[in-house]
Amino acid sequence: MLKEVIATRFIAPLREGGSLPGLIEADDLGTYALKFSGAGQGRKTLVAEVVCGELARRLGLRVPRLVTVELDPVLGLGEPDPEVQQLLKSSGGTNLGTDFLSGALGFDPLAFE
């Protein structure tokens, strides 16, 4: 069972990936990369991420902690980007978060050739 947290502050959009995740702070004082349920890929993609993440963890791979994040759409009112504001508005309720690893680098498949 995933731990549930409540988003207390929207920090910034993360302009990586097709789903436009966001960086949030939660009531447990953690910082999370938030995958929005209102993104174009929908909730089924978030379910697949939970299944794959937990399967990888059981196989002994190091995977950032997954949490469910309750998001109040009001957190997006101060966001200047209309696209991000709409995403926050359409993602009210339960979303998926992963521990934010501040020193992590984006994956570059060409780096391993």
With vertex at residue 111, the alpha carbon angle to CA 62 and CA 65, rounded to the nearest 5 degrees, is 20
Task: Phi first, then psi: give them for residue 48, nearest 5 degrees.
Answer: -60, -40
Does 55 reside within a domain? Answer: yes
* pLDDT above 70: percentage of residues in the chain: 93
Nearest to 67 by CA among 97, 25, 32, 23: 97
pLDDT band at 107 (very low <50, low <70, confident <90, very high): low
Q: What pTM value is reported for the model? A: 0.85
Position with higher pLDDT, 99 vs 109: 99
In a domain, 108, yes or no: no
Task: For residue range 63-90, list pLDDT tens digits in order.
Answer: 999 999 999 989 888 889 888 899 999 9
Residue 70's domain comprises: 3-96
Is 71 a domain residue? yes
